[in-house]
Structure 1
């Protein structure tokens, strides 16, 4: 039986440390038996046989994508290639592309207060992706997102309104999964910089989610 295959494409805004994060994810997937291809930029998406990958992990923030590249990516996912990722590398990759956001299930719009302390609450503790992890405190950007109401939410955070008073009491998805075409799609908003992989809950949720998303 051949190994599962994964593609990681990385780049964009350097504040998210995309290269360092891509190397961590590459090692994580390799440890799970994946054959991993890691590419800078979006040019790899111009290849018309992206459906040969079992999993694609976007790790780019605020970049432009060529029309054919995006079409190839969407077609591969719709056909059954898994999609998984985290933070702005997935949820703020192609800000101008609604077709991409339709696929991911959400789009970043704000992080009031920037780096702050907040709590992540597991709302589906019986789901294998978060089972046994429990609620935990986290220090990072607290992502405020526009989300697809059909996503299956696994973890949330509640805004206290300290930095944007009108958001007080807003319960926001942090981790979710959903289906797009024949594919499984996974997302976690945790992981602003590479050092956050040292938080065991963040790392384990992402590890489980990527494995789950793979075809």
Structure 2
């Protein structure tokens, strides 16, 4: 709690509808309310540009794939995080937002590049073309981190994010893209799958699994996201 008041969470959702931003965020809003947050919903990043409102936000949960952000909105987001507001999200809703903004990519520290798919002969043009079996591998720091403590390596069948990242992220888990006969790369590629980032007085949490509701309802994924939101919050 902040003083005698409930903490305030801003849920920003929209962009590409394939990630069902409304339904996905509604999965987690009861959890936030149970933990004392007053939740405000927005269908665009416009609230980021309101400094008076943002100064009272303790946590932003962003599920906004692709789309665009205006300069004033980005300045407001960065300023709020720098001042102590937390930012949390999953999959394309945070790691593939606002591709037009290099400053946004700098803020997050890791950017979706690709999700290599199935053997081309198995593809039918649906989203499932990119659903592959993979493992989320926990790194040693994960064993004692409040987001990942008690969670072992786990397997998923969904989009496996290949992420371009910098070394100012604190990586809790990775995933390794295998070499397959139809791929053009010649060695395995390991990408961060769960990470945190400290920015000024604020904290950022990112998990790359979360393409669809069934993945978000996986026990491990859901636990990591719920804990990540609480960890990031002011």
Match for residue 138 of structure 1 among 128, 136, 156: 156
Match of 2:199 in 1: 180
Match of 1:48 in 2: 51
Match of 1:96 in 2: 100
Q: Quick check: 1:159–1:167 contact (8 Å CA) kept in 2?
A: no
Q: Deviations over 1:129-148 (max 9, x none)?
A: 11111001111110011112
Q: Which structure 1 segments of 5+ residues have no match?
A: none
Match of 2:40 in 1: 37
Q: Quick check: 2:164–2:191 contact (8 Å CA) kept in 1?
A: no
Q: Which structure 2 segments of 5+ residues have no match?
A: 118-129
Q: Distance in 2 between matches of 1:145 and 1:67?
A: 25
Which deviates more from structure 2 when the two are superposed, residues 102-111 or residues 166-175? 166-175
Q: Distance in 2 between matches of 1:44 and 1:88?
A: 20
Q: Distance in 2 between matches of 1:8 and 1:107?
A: 21
Q: Distance in 1 between matches of 2:46 and 2:106?
A: 22
Q: Distance in 2 between matches of 1:167 and 1:140?
A: 23
Q: Distance in 2 between matches of 1:168 and 1:137?
A: 21
Match for residue 111 of structure 2 among 93, 107, 121: 107
Q: Distance in 1 between matches of 2:12 and 2:86?
A: 14
Match for residue 185 of structure 2 among 161, 166, 169: 166
Aligned residue pairs total: 215
Following TM superposition, the consecutive aligned residue runs of length 4 or more in structure 1 with deviations greater than 6 angstroms are none
TM-score by length of 1: 0.95
| 1:189-204 correspondence runs (5 A) | 189-204=208-223
Superposition RMSD in Å: 1.3
Q: Quick check: 1:22–1:38 contact (8 Å CA) kept in 2?
A: no
Q: Deviations over 1:140-185 (max 9, x none)?
A: 1100111121111000111112263416321111001121111111
Q: Distance in 2 between matches of 1:55 and 1:164?
A: 40
- 1:80 paired with 2:84, answer yes
> Secondary structure at 1:52's aligned position in 2?
coil
Q: Distance in 2 between matches of 1:208 and 1:201?
A: 11
> Secondary structure at 2:112's aligned position in 1?
strand
> Secondary structure at 1:53's aligned position in 2?
coil
> Secondary structure at 1:28's aligned position in 2?
helix
Match for residue 21 of structure 1 among 11, 24, 30: 24
The structure with the largest alpha-carbon Rg is 2
